[in-house]
Amino acid sequence: GAVVSQHPSRVICKSGTSVKIECRSLDFQATTMFWYRQFPKQSLMLMATSNEGSKATYEQGVEKDKFLINHASLTLSTLTVTSAHPEDSSFYICSAPGDNYGYTFGSGTRLTVV
């Protein structure tokens, strides 16, 4: 079945640095990738939708200059958290539309900013 590979699974970075998270569709082409943020014990919050070959669409309240999204190819989408701060610490998950209206999720990235 469709697989989305997300890396890294965990990352710890210092305040002020940038972190890049990658999501790759392994055996299918993903023209669209969704990026979510999940706070502890809460549901997924859609941050943005990336589309191959065009600019990402950000949800209201999400800073596009802070969360840079690049959909470089049909199999790769990246989220870069720029100038990270402790409040950016969270669990970030990507997903791509699969068949029959389901989504295929990456395994998530636990970001800790110290």
Partner 1 sequence: GNSVTQMEGPVTLSEEAFLTINCTYTATGYPSLFWYVQYPGEGLQLLLKATKADDKGSNKGFEATYRKETTSFHLEKGSVQVSDSAVYFCALSKYNNNDMRFGAGTRLTVKP
Tell me the closest approach of the beta carbon of residue 49 to partner 1, in angstroms: 7
Confirm or reject binding of residue 90 to partner 1 (CB under 8 A).
Answer: no
- Rounded CA gap, 7 and 108, in Å? 8
> Which of the stretches 12-20, 36-44, 72-80, 81-89 binds partner 1 when contact is defined by CB under 8 A?
36-44
Which segments of the chain are extended strands (E)?
4-7, 10-13, 19-25, 32-38, 44-51, 57-58, 67-73, 76-81, 90-97, 103-105, 109-113
Binding mask 40-79 for partner 1 (x = CB under 8 A): -xxxx----x------------------------------
Rounded to a whole number of angstroms, the CA Rg of the chain reads 13
Instruction: Report the interface residues with partner 1, using CB under 8 A.
Output: 6, 32, 34, 41-44, 49, 93, 95, 97-98, 100-108, 110
